Structure 1
Amino acid sequence: MLRKHAWPLAVLFAVGAIALSACGSTGGTAQPATQSSSPDSGSGTTSDVQTLSGTARSNKADEKAGDMAPVSAPAETREKWVSLRAASAGDLDPVVINGAGLTLYRFDKDSANPSKATCNGDCAVTWPPVTVMPGGKIFFAGIKKQDIGVVKRDDGKLQVTIKGWPVYRFTKDTKPGDTLGQGVGGTWFGVTPDGQKAGPAKPVTPPPAAPDAKPATSATVFTGKNFDDFSGDNFASGITGPGCKDVRGEIKSIQPSGSLKIWSDAGCKGKSLVITEDVPDLAAIGFPAGIRSLFFG
Structure 2
Amino acid sequence: MPRKHVWPLAALLAAGTIALSACGGTTGGTAAPAPAQSQDSEGGNAKDATLLSGTARSNKADEKAGDMAPPEAPTEVKEKWVSLRASAAGELDPVVVNGSGFTLYRFDKDTAEPSKATCNGDCAKTWPPVTVAKGGKVFIAGVKQDAVGFVKRDDGSIQVTLKGWPLYRFAKDVNPGDTLGQGVGGTWFGITPDGKKAGPTEKPVPPTAAPGAKPAQSATLFSGKNFDDTTGTNFATGIATPGCNDLRGGFLSLTISGSAKIWSEVGCKGKSAVVTDDVADVTPLGFPAGVKSVFLG
Normalising by structure 1, we get a TM-score of 0.88
Partner of 1:100: 100
Q: Secondary structure at the match of 2:284?
A: helix
Q: Which stretch has the larger CA shift, 239-248 or 215-224? A: 239-248
Structure 1 position 176, deviation (Å): 1.1
Q: Which stretch has the larger CA shift, 239-248 or 160-169? A: 239-248
Amino acid at match of 2:142: G
**1:2 equivalenced with 2:42 (yes/no):** no
Contact 1:250 1:290 (8 Å CA) reproduced: yes
The 1:187/1:96 distance shift into structure 2, 3 A limit, reads same
Q: Over residues 24-77 of structure 1, what are the superposed CA-to-partner deviations in whole Å (9 max), with x where a residue is unaligned?
A: 259xxxxxxxxx9666x7357562111111100011111111011122211101
Q: Which runs of 5+ in 1 are unaligned?
A: 4-14, 27-35
Partner of 1:171: 171
Contact 1:16 1:125 (8 Å CA) reproduced: no
- Work out the CA distance in 2 between the residues paired with 1:139 and 1:46: 18
- Work out the CA distance in 2 between the residues paired with 1:230 and 1:43: 38
Report the aligned-residue RMSD.
Answer: 1.8
Q: Over residues 102-126 of structure 1, what are the superposed CA-to-partner deviations in whole Å (9 max), with x where a residue is unaligned?
A: 0000000111111010101111110
Q: Which runs of 5+ in 2 are unaligned?
A: 7-15, 27-36
Amino acid at match of 1:155: D
Correspondence list, 1:119-130, <5 A = 119-130=119-130
The 1:162/1:44 distance shift into structure 2, 3 A limit, reads farther
Q: Over residues 238-292 of structure 1, what are the superposed CA-to-partner deviations in whole Å (9 max), with x where a residue is unaligned?
A: 0113111111122010112210110111111111110101001111222111011
Q: How many residues align?
A: 275
Partner of 1:213: 213
Partner of 2:51: 51
Partner of 1:250: 250
- Work out the CA distance in 2 between the residues paired with 1:212 and 1:16: 54
Partner of 1:159: 159
Report runs of 4+ in structure 1 exceeding 3 Å deviation.
Answer: 36-39, 41-46
Identity %: 67
Partner of 2:241: 241
Amino acid at match of 2:271: K
Q: Secondary structure at the match of 1:106?
A: strand
Contact 1:93 1:198 (8 Å CA) reproduced: yes
Contact 1:224 1:253 (8 Å CA) reproduced: yes
Amino acid at match of 2:184: V
Partner of 1:32: none
Amino acid at match of 1:136: G
- Work out the CA distance in 1 between the residues paired with 2:179 and 2:202: 18
Amino acid at match of 1:111: T
The 1:232/1:38 distance shift into structure 2, 3 A limit, reads closer
Contact 1:43 1:151 (8 Å CA) reproduced: no
Partner of 2:189: 189
Q: Which stretch has the larger CA shift, 120-129 or 66-75? A: 66-75
Q: Secondary structure at the match of 1:96?
A: strand
The 1:223/1:25 distance shift into structure 2, 3 A limit, reads closer
Amino acid at match of 1:283: T
Q: Over residues 149-199 of structure 1, what are the superposed CA-to-partner deviations in whole Å (9 max), with x where a residue is unaligned?
A: 110000000000001000000000011110000000000000000000001
Q: Secondary structure at the match of 2:154?
A: coil
Partner of 1:294: 294
Partner of 1:7: none
Structure 1 position 210, deviation (Å): 1.0
Q: Secondary structure at the match of 1:284?
A: helix
Contact 1:92 1:199 (8 Å CA) reproduced: yes
**1:75 equivalenced with 2:75 (yes/no):** yes
The 1:128/1:216 distance shift into structure 2, 3 A limit, reads same
Amino acid at match of 1:102: F
